[in-house]
Amino acid sequence: MTEKINLLNLDREALAVFFAGHGEQRFRADQLSQWIHQFGVIDFDKMTNMSKPLRSRLKGCAEIRFPEMVREELSKDGTRKWLFRLDDGNVIETVFIPEGVRGTLCISSQAGCILDCTFCATARQGFSRNLTTAEIVAQLWMANRFLAGFGRRVRVVSNVVMMGMGEPLYNYRNVLPALRVFMDDFAYGLSSRRVTLSTAGVVPHILKLVDDCDISLAISLHASNDELRNKLVPINRRFPLAELLAACKKYTYAKARRVVTMEYVMLDGMNDQPQHAKELSRLLEGLPVKINLIPFNPFKGISYRCSDSHTIRRFRAMLKAAGLVATIRKTRGQDIEAACGQLAGEVRNRSMRFNEVQVAVS
């Protein structure tokens, strides 16, 4: 018996190819995409603008399948965290952050993380596998439905950030179609400025994004020189700062000088001293960037401490004095371990780690 195809794996172009294989015109892809992503309908029999024979064929060869929601946690500040169990038993985490009229969804791209950043709880989990496009898109579909009620045509999530578990650019072939679904007017219709991808610095795929997808880019920088970044973000040994910033510069100019967000976690005594602020100012001079200073969020078994508020404000003041735009991120969801760097999930295979020789950019 042929395995059914999960239609959440297909962006609208891939859906058009799918329908062409069944002798149908490409407008069927538009219709199906609207049913799934805008109306939240996953029962083929309820897709009434499609013929009964077509609906019958769809039921025989296709499905719309989601991970299982195993737990929801609500923070005192309104942040929500969902744990989703995948078919293979891995559990990933997705976070919703409400802020006035904005609703930001933080989406995972891997079960665990293939990188080994020393201050991140996800990195402690090891790496099991990349998520499929369906598992990535499902996080947005399910969040909208849990927040608004199943069956209602409403999009509660206004912004998507690929900042959850995993390094999205090491899952490029599955993340890219998911991004296209997020921005498709026949799906979620999010503008490119409302979809942000955060990467630790996979330079070849930052350059590929120039041609493949127009989104907002964030870089997990966290250090002002290569020696320090090698310790905090080991991928820097493969793609050092000069290469990374050159790729960022190319991306910003290709996207009409789109500003890149530089994320910088504040670690007490590690990267928060005046000399680091001066180095960072020189490093980013002339680049269209804004710097997001992130108070470190502790988790069990970690020795790092967060910089105190005075140190963080002093650091920001020095950056601003150098002409850079710098903000301090408000910590959200810390009481449910949903804040930046705290996502862990439940990863079945904890043995895999980033290896410069074995890991191919894919």
Distance CA 346, CA 323 (A): 43
Rg for the chain, CA atoms, rounded: 21
- The CA-based angle 82-87-91, given to 5 degrees, is 35
- CA 357 to each of CA 131, 235, 353: distance values in angstroms, whole numbers, following the listed order: 22, 12, 12
**What is the chain's pLDDT, residue by residue, as a tens digit (362 residues)?**
578 999 999 999 999 999 999 999 999 999 999 999 999 999 999 999 999 999 999 999 999 999 999 999 999 998 999 999 999 999 999 999 999 889 999 999 999 999 989 888 777 778 899 999 999 999 999 999 898 764 444 458 999 999 999 999 999 999 999 999 999 999 999 999 999 999 999 999 999 999 999 999 999 999 999 999 999 999 999 999 999 999 999 999 998 778 999 999 999 999 999 999 999 999 999 999 999 999 998 877 788 999 999 999 999 999 999 999 999 998 877 777 665 655 555 555 554 444 433 344 45
The token duo for 360 is 């191919």
Q: What is the pLDDT of residue 357?
A: 32
What pLDDT does 361 receive? 43
Structure confidence at residue 360 (pLDDT): 41
Domain at 5-63: CATH code: 1.10.150.530
In whole angstroms, what is the distance from residue 269 CA to residue 9 CA?
45
The residues annotated as belonging to the active site are 93, 340
Strand partners, 261: 218, 290
pTM of the model: 0.92
Whether the domain at 5-63 and the domain at 68-336 fall into the same CATH topology: no
Instruction: For Cα atoms 282, 283, 286, give the angle at the middle one, nearest 5 degrees.
Output: 80
- Strand segments (E) across 321-361: 325-328
Instruction: Please tell me the class of the 68-336 domain.
Output: alpha beta
Q: Is 362 exposed, middle or buried (0-12, 13-18, 19+ CB in 10 A)?
A: exposed
The Cα–Cα gap between 246 and 60 comes to 50
Domain residues of the chain, as ranges? Answer: 5-63, 68-336
* Contact criterion met (CB below 8 Å) for 216 and 193: yes
- 231 neighbors 271 (Cβ within 8 angstroms): no
